């Protein structure tokens, strides 16, 4: 049975989560890299996570340094096959069922791995705060560039791509540290946060701003806040329920509820 691996305290907390979801009219999901570790994609801040191996390349460094751009593309093409073969985990499936049941109008995610969409959440209900890693674009003229073309050239020349149209810098369509946030996604995330009675954050260390601001927006607007994450987060003290346990085991019982 799902969740049988959980200790007594966590089982009680999971039952409380099931109760809160049952009581709520509108649940908004908010996810971070931790929901995708079960799918084989490493997160940043778990022990041994990507953070301990490679510090992220800030946006201004990407812009100013050709070697930083080469390193960013090297890392991207190293990680892409891992993401390409990843399948949604139990956390993604639980959220997808909440969406299908009409209980969850949208999932706000910091992830760029497309797994919410793959789990069956309609694309228009996934709000990607940090963009999408499946294509690239020119930072100057905005024209779209396909990763397959970039990869062929990168592997033969070792050089980061520049835009053939305008000579601008080409970057994957994800948001780096220090880069402006996508306005429409921010607006949609704000609207969702303001209009729910339960805000469910799953697998985020809640330290990356401004994304980590949305649980506070929801809480201030009167929603209950639940945090499911293996490690403590800076927002635990304002949450109504904190569950420090494995996401898949905690979330899978949400399904039979529907
Ligand atoms: P994070 O790495 O800072 O935090 C992930 C959290 O998830 C950690 O606190 C960890 O304890 C927890 N966790 C991991 N596996 C878990 C599990 N099975 N059960 C319970 N908890 C688990 O991630 P973040 O807050 O999303 O911030 C990292 C940034 O890096 C984000 O901006 C995101 O865009 C990006 N990122 C994305 C991916 C992806 O798309 N899958 C992967 C790595 C990083
Ligand atoms: Zn261009």
Q: Which of 72, 56, 207, 182 is nearest to 128 (CA)?
A: 182
> Ligand 1: which of 14, 33, 213 to mutate, judged by most atoms within 8 Å of the beta carbon?
33
Catalytic residue (one of 92, 116, 130, 145): 130
Q: How far is the CA of 145 from the centre of ligand 2 (A)?
A: 9
| Residue-level length of the chain | 258
Beta-carbon contacts of 56 under 8 Å, excluding residues fewer than 6 positions away, are 44, 176, 177
Q: Are 60 and 66 in contact (CB under 8 A)?
A: no
46 lines ligand 1 (CB under 6 A): yes
73 lines ligand 1 (CB under 6 A): no
The bound ligand whose nearest atom lies closest to the alpha carbon of 43 is 1
Beta-carbon contacts of 43 under 8 Å, excluding residues fewer than 6 positions away, are 32, 33, 34, 36, 37, 49, 50, 203
Q: Is 130 a catalytic residue?
A: yes
DSSP 169: B
Residues 119-178: tens digit of each pLDDT: 999 999 999 999 999 899 999 999 999 999 999 999 999 999 999 999 999 999 999 999
| CATH 3.30.1600.10, the chain: domain bounds | 43-85+131-174
| CATH 3.40.50.1220, the chain: domain bounds | 1-41+87-130+181-258
The bound ligand whose nearest atom lies closest to the alpha carbon of 145 is 2
Residues 20-72: tens digit of each pLDDT: 999 999 999 999 999 999 999 999 887 776 666 788 999 999 999 999 999 99
Q: Are 200 and 28 in contact (CB under 8 A)?
A: yes
The number of the ligand 1 atom at minimal distance from the alpha carbon of 110 is 34
- What top-level class would CATH report for the domain 1-41+87-130+181-258? alpha beta
Rounded CA gap, 108 and 188, in Å? Answer: 9
Rounded CA gap, 43 and 9, in Å? Answer: 26
Please state which architecture CATH assigns to domain 43-85+131-174: 2-Layer Sandwich (3.30)
Please compute the mean of the pLDDT values over residues 228-245 and round it to a whole number: 98
Chain CA centroid to CA 185, Å? 13
């Amino acid at each position: 049975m799902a969740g049988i691996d959980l200790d007594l305290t966590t089982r009680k907390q999971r039952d409380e989560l099931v109760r809160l979801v049952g009581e709520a009219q509108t649940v908004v999901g908010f996810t971070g890299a931790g929901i995708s570790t079960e799918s084989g994609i490493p997160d940043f801040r778990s022990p041994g996570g990507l953070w301990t191996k490679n510090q992220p390349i800030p946006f201004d460094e990407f812009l100013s340094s050709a070697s930083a751009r080469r390193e960013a593309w090297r890392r991207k093409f190293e990680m892409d096959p891992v993401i390409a073969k990843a399948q949604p985990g139990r956390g993604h499936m639980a959220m997808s069922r909440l969406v299908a049941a009409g209980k969850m109008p949208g999932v706000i995610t910091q992830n760029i791995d497309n797994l919410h969409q793959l789990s069956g959440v309609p694309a228009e209900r996934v709000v990607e705060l940090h963009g999408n890693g499946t294509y690239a674009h020119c930072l100057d003229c905005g024209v779209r560039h396909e990763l397959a073309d970039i990869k062929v050239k990168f592997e033969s020349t070792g050089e980061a791509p520049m835009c053939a149209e305008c000579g601008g810098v080409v970057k994957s369509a994800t948001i780096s540290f220090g880069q402006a946030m996508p306005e429409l996604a921010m607006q949609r995330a704000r609207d969702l946060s303001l209009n729910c009675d339960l805000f469910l954050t799953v697998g985020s260390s809640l330290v990356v701003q401004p994304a980590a601001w949305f649980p506070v927006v929801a809480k201030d607007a009167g929603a209950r806040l639940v945090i499911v994450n293996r490690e403590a987060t800076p927002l635990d003290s304002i949450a109504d329920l904190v569950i420090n346990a494995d996401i898949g085991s905690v979330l899978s019982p949400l399904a039979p509820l529907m």
